[in-house]
């Protein structure tokens, strides 16, 4: 019998049906980032042990929209765009682990199945959603990357709008924001197949880009709204104070993470 192949299910003799290829995974994207402050207690309730609130600016949140093209090392997916292009929106906060500051993604929505699979592997809590954002273009009515340019973005899931923003660029910036500026601290968790068996996989991991390049970021101001929904909790990270908004084009390569701890979370919540 020939062995079955594939980095991720489904596994077949050829491996061609695997939902995602093996890393490295390469990304090119346009990012809209809106930073604001919320009640630190709302951030704390999203941090399982052993993570703690960041000591500096513990209520800081970044809500990020991203329009991605992604591929494996071969780049072949770029020539079959349905396998490369997807959009996502995600909320990140900061936390500490053993005295070091990390970024943590607490909510994230994507519009392709392969993006969900990659996220599960990396510890991102990905769900399906509907994400749209204004694209820049040097011709016609689309905004250029310049002072006064306006970009809109929306997020919906399960037929409910969760967030919307309009970002107006002001000037070039030295940074694309600070909340998403650290290595990620994520949990990879999988309940046991046996009822009451706890967790079959329970890891706290560190993840960061193997390489990163980016264009000059622009800073501006944002009008941001969050909306209640019956099966989503993004709106609990209520907006108390705006910080800033940013636009940036980036290129990222991800090629694995590092185990920090095993068995940190206890049994799965019922």
For 9-55, the pLDDT digits (tens) are 999 999 999 999 999 999 999 999 999 999 999 999 999 999 999 99
pLDDT beyond 90 at 105? yes
Task: Read off the pLDDT band of 268 (50, 70, 90).
Answer: very low
Q: What is the pLDDT of residues 2-15, one digit of tens each?
A: 789 999 999 999 99
pTM for the model: 0.95
Helix residue ranges, H only, the chain = 40-44, 113-122
Average pLDDT, the chain: 96
Rounded to whole angstroms, the Cα distance separating 150 from 153 reads 10
pLDDT at residue 264, rounded to an integer: 63
Rounded to whole angstroms, the Cα distance separating 103 from 184 reads 5
- From 71, 72, 90, select the one nearest 81 (Cα to Cα): 71
- Residue 200 tokens read as 């079959």
pLDDT beyond 80 at 270? no
Rounded to whole angstroms, the Cα distance separating 77 from 31 reads 21
- From 209, 170, 219, 185, select the one nearest 31 (Cα to Cα): 219
Torsion of CA 51, 56, 59, 60, to 10 degrees: -100
Tell me the average pLDDT across 134-154: 98
């Amino acid at each position: 019998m020939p062995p079955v192949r594939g980095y991720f299910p489904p596994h077949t003799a050829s491996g061609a049906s695997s939902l995602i290829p093996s890393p490295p995974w390469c990304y090119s994207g346009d990012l809209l980032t809106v930073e604001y402050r919320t009640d630190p207690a709302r951030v704390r309730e999203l941090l399982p042990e052993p993570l703690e609130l960041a000591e500096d600016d513990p209520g800081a949140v970044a809500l990020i929209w991203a329009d991605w093209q992604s591929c494996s090392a071969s780049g072949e997916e770029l020539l079959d765009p349905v396998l490369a292009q997807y959009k996502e929106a995600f909320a990140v906060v900061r936390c500490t682990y053993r005295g070091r500051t990390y970024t943590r993604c607490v909510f994230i929505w994507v519009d392709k199945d392969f993006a969900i699979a990659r996220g599960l592997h990396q510890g991102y809590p990905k769900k399906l959603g509907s994400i749209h954002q204004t694209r820049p273009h040097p011709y016609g009515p689309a905004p250029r990357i310049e002072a006064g340019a306006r970009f809109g973005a929306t997020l919906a899931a399960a037929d409910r709008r969760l967030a919307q923003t309009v970002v107006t660029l002001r000037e070039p910036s030295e940074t694309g924001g600070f909340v998403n500026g650290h290595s990620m601290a994520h949990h990879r968790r999988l309940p046991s197949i046996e009822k009451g068996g706890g967790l079959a996989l329970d890891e706290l991991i560190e993840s960061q880009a193997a390489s990163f390049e980016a264009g000059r970021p622009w800073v501006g101001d944002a009008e941001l709204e969050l909306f209640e929904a019956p099966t989503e909790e993004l709106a609990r990270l209520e907006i108390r104070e705006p910080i800033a908004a940013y636009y940036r084009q980036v290129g990222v390569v991800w090629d694995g993470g590092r185990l920090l701890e095993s068995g940190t979370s206890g049994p799965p919540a019922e």
